[in-house]
Structure 1
Amino acid sequence: MDCHYNVYGCFREPSADIELAKRAVDAGFGGIWIGDHFLPWISSRPYTHHILPWFGALMNEVPDVPVGTSVTCPMLRYRPPLLAQALATLDSMYPGRFHLGLGVGEALNEAHFLDDWPEWGERAAMMIETIDLLEKLWTADEYLEFDGEYFQYEGIRLHTEPKASLPIHWAAWGPTSCTLAGKHADHLITAASPKKIREKIIPPYKDGLSTRGRSLDDVDVTTEVSINIGDPDELVQEIRDRGEYVPHDQIDSTDPREIQREADDRLAAMSDEEIRTKYNITDDPEEVVRLLREYERAGVTRVLVGSKCGDPHETISVMEEHVLPEFD
Structure 2
Amino acid sequence: MTGGDADVGYKLICEEHGPNDLVEYAALADESAFDFAMISDHFHPWTSAQGESPLVWNVIGAIARATDDLPLGTAITCPTTRVHPAIVAQAAATSATMLPGRFFLGVGTGEKLNEHVVGARWPEHEVRLAKLEEAIEVIWTLWEGGAKSHHGEHFTVENARLYTLPDEPPEIPVAADGPKAARLAGEKGDGLVAVRPSEDLIDAFESAGGEGKPRYGELTVCYAEDEAVELAHEIWPIEGLPGELMWVLPTPAHFEQAVQSVTKEDIAESMVCGSDPDEHVAEIRSYVDAGFDHVAVHQVGPNQEGFVEFYEEAVLPVLEG
Query: TM-score, normalised on structure 2?
Result: 0.91
Is contact 2:223–2:300 with CA below 8 Å preserved after alignment?
no
Q: Which amino acid aligns with 2:33?
A: G
Q: 1:180 matched to which residue of 2?
A: 184
Deviations 1:98-155, CA, capped at 9 Å, x for gaps: 1111111111111121342221111111111110110111113x31221211112232
Matching residue within 32, 37, 52 for 2:37:
32
Q: 1:231 matched to which residue of 2?
A: 225
User: For residues 189 and 319 of structure 1, do their structure 2 counterparts lie closer, same or farther at Cα, with a shift above 3 Å needed?
Assistant: same
Is contact 1:228–1:310 with CA below 8 Å preserved after alignment?
no
Q: Which amino acid aligns with 2:207?
A: D
Q: Which amino acid aligns with 1:257?
A: A
SS in 2 for 1:109: helix
* 2:241 matches 1:249: no
Deviations 1:5-56, CA, capped at 9 Å, x for gaps: 0011111221112212222232211122111111111222100110101000
Q: C-alpha distance in 1, partners of 2:236/2:215? A: 30
Matching residue within 293, 298, 321 for 1:306:
298
Once the two structures are overlaid, the 10-residue window that deviates more, 81-90 or 238-247, is 238-247
User: For residues 237 and 14 of structure 1, do their structure 2 counterparts lie closer, same or farther at Cα, with a shift above 3 Å needed?
Assistant: same
Deviations 1:212-248, CA, capped at 9 Å, x for gaps: xx52xx111111111222235x111223344632534
Q: Which amino acid aligns with 2:219?
A: V
Deviations 1:285-324, CA, capped at 9 Å, x for gaps: 1222222222212111001111113622222111101222
Is contact 2:235–2:301 with CA below 8 Å preserved after alignment?
no
Q: C-alpha distance in 2, partners of 1:207/1:30? A: 28
Q: 1:205 matched to which residue of 2?
A: 205
Structure 2: runs of 5 or more not aligned = 1-5
Aligned counterparts, 1:1-328, within 5 A: 1-140=6-145, 142-192=146-196, 194=197, 197-198=198-199, 200-209=200-209, 215=211, 218-231=212-225, 234-242=227-235, 244-246=237-239, 247=241, 248-250=243-245, 251-267=247-263, 270-271=264-265, 274-309=266-301, 311-328=303-320
SS in 2 for 1:100: strand
SS in 1 for 2:244: helix
Q: 2:3 matched to which residue of 1?
A: none
Is contact 1:220–1:301 with CA below 8 Å preserved after alignment?
yes
Q: Which amino acid aligns with 1:176?
A: K
- Please state how far the C-alpha of 1:276 moved relative to its aligned partner: 2.2
Q: C-alpha distance in 2, partners of 1:241/1:162? A: 41
User: For residues 29 and 308 of structure 1, do their structure 2 counterparts lie closer, same or farther at Cα, with a shift above 3 Å needed?
Assistant: same
Q: Which amino acid aligns with 1:296?
A: V
Q: C-alpha distance in 1, partners of 2:235/2:293? A: 32
SS in 1 for 2:238: coil
Deviations 1:58-104, CA, capped at 9 Å, x for gaps: 01101122101110101211121122112212222321111111111
Is contact 1:243–1:260 with CA below 8 Å preserved after alignment?
no
Is contact 1:239–1:309 with CA below 8 Å preserved after alignment?
yes
SS in 1 for 2:311: helix
Between the aligned residues of both structures, percent identity stands at 29
Once the two structures are overlaid, the 10-residue window that deviates more, 311-320 or 289-298, is 289-298
Q: Which amino acid aligns with 1:245?
A: I
Deviations 1:263-298, CA, capped at 9 Å, x for gaps: 12222xx52xx4223220132112222222222121
Q: Which amino acid aligns with 2:148?
A: L
Q: Which amino acid aligns with 1:148?
A: G
* RMSD after superposition: 1.8
SS in 2 for 1:236: helix
SS in 2 for 1:38: coil
Q: C-alpha distance in 1, partners of 2:302/2:142? A: 43
- Please state how far the C-alpha of 1:254 moved relative to its aligned partner: 1.0
Once the two structures are overlaid, the 10-residue window that deviates more, 53-62 or 173-182, is 173-182
